[in-house]
Structure 1
Amino acid sequence: MTSSIQKPSKKAFQKRVDSAVADTHLATALTRALPEFGRRRTRAFAGGDFQEKRRRVSALKRDAIERLPELVQQFTEEAEAVGAVVYLAETPADANRIIAGIARRHEAKLVIKSKSMVSEEIHLNQALEAEGLRVVETDLGEWIMQLAGESPSHLIAPAIHKTREQVAELFSKEIGRELPADIAELVAVARERLRDDFVNADIGISGANAAIADTGTLMIVSNEGNGRLVTTLPPVHIALLGVEKIVPSMADATAILDVLPRSGTGQKITSYVSFITGPSRSADIELALAVGVHGPKEVHIVLLDNGR
Structure 2
Amino acid sequence: MSAEQPDGPGAATPEAPAPPPVVLDEVLASLRRLRARTRVRVRTGLLGEAVEAMTAVGFQVAQFDSGDAVLEKLREIIPQGARVVYQPCAAGRALQVHEVLRAEGRDIVVLPDDAERLGENGSWREHLLGAQFGVTGATALVADTGSVALAEELGFGRAASNVPPVHIALATADSVVDTILDAAVIARGYAALHLDRPLPRYLSLISGPSKTADIGFQLVPGMHGPRAAHVLIWDHPKGTGTGDDALRTWVLA
Identify the residue that residue 283 of structure 1 maps to in structure 2. Answer: 213
Identify the residue that residue 124 of structure 1 maps to in structure 2. Answer: 97
Q: Map 1:160-171 to 2 at 5 A.
A: none
1:108–1:202 Cα contact (<8 Å) kept: no
SS at match of 2:123: helix
Deviation at 1:192, TM superposition (A): 3.7
2:81–2:107 Cα contact (<8 Å) kept: no
Deviation at 1:236, TM superposition (A): 0.3
- Distance in 1 separating the partners of 2:205 and 2:228: 16
Q: Map 1:2-13 to 2 at 5 A.
A: none
Identify the residue that residue 203 of structure 1 maps to in structure 2. Answer: 133
SS at match of 1:215: coil
- Distance in 1 separating the partners of 2:191 and 2:67: 28
1:45–1:262 Cα contact (<8 Å) kept: no
SS at match of 1:67: helix
- Distance in 1 separating the partners of 2:200 and 2:67: 30
2:87–2:113 Cα contact (<8 Å) kept: no
SS at match of 1:293: coil
Identify the residue that residue 58 of structure 1 maps to in structure 2. Answer: 32
Q: What is the CA deviation profile of residues 263-299 of structure 1, one whole-angstrom value per residue up to 9, with x for unaligned ones?
A: 2111122221111000111111232221111200011
Identify the residue that residue 109 of structure 1 maps to in structure 2. Answer: 82
2:98–2:108 Cα contact (<8 Å) kept: yes
- Distance in 1 separating the partners of 2:50 and 2:81: 28
Q: What is the CA deviation profile of residues 190-218 of structure 1, one whole-angstrom value per residue up to 9, with x for unaligned ones?
A: 37433321111110000011111111111
Identity over aligned pairs, percent: 26
1:261–1:267 Cα contact (<8 Å) kept: yes
Q: Map 1:289-308 to 2 at 5 A.
A: 289-306=219-236
- Distance in 1 separating the partners of 2:147 and 2:78: 23
Identify the residue that residue 79 of structure 1 maps to in structure 2. Answer: 54
Which structure has the greater CA radius of gyration? 1
Identify the residue that residue 6 of structure 2 maps to in structure 1. Answer: none
Q: Map 1:183-198 to 2 at 5 A.
A: 187=118, 189-190=119-120, 192-198=122-128
Size of the alignment, in residue pairs?
A: 220
- Distance in 2 separating the partners of 1:244 and 1:68: 8
Q: What is the CA deviation profile of residues 105-140 of structure 1, one whole-angstrom value per residue up to 9, with x for unaligned ones?
A: xx6611111121211101212321243111110115
Identify the residue that residue 63 of structure 2 maps to in structure 1. Answer: 88
Identify the residue that residue 148 of structure 2 maps to in structure 1. Answer: 218
- Distance in 2 separating the partners of 1:291 and 1:208: 22
Deviation at 1:234, TM superposition (A): 0.5
1:238–1:301 Cα contact (<8 Å) kept: yes
Residue type at the aligned position of 1:112: V
Runs of 4+ residues deviating >4 angstroms = none
Return the match for 2:189 from 247, 253, 259. 259
Residue type at the aligned position of 2:99: Q
Identify the residue that residue 246 of structure 2 maps to in structure 1. Answer: none
2:151–2:204 Cα contact (<8 Å) kept: yes
Identify the residue that residue 68 of structure 1 maps to in structure 2. Answer: 42
Runs of at least 5 residues in structure 2 that lack an aligned partner in the other structure: 1-17, 239-253
Return the match for 2:109 from 112, 115, 136. 136
SS at match of 1:57: helix
1:204–1:236 Cα contact (<8 Å) kept: yes
Relative to structure 1, is the Cα distance of residues 101 and 208 closer, same or farther in structure 2, using a 3 angstrom cutoff? Answer: same
TM-score, reference length from structure 1: 0.66
CA RMSD of aligned residues (A): 2.3
1:231–1:237 Cα contact (<8 Å) kept: yes
Identify the residue that residue 23 of structure 1 maps to in structure 2. Answer: none
- Distance in 2 separating the partners of 1:257 and 1:100: 30
Identify the residue that residue 240 of structure 1 maps to in structure 2. Answer: 170
SS at match of 2:33: helix
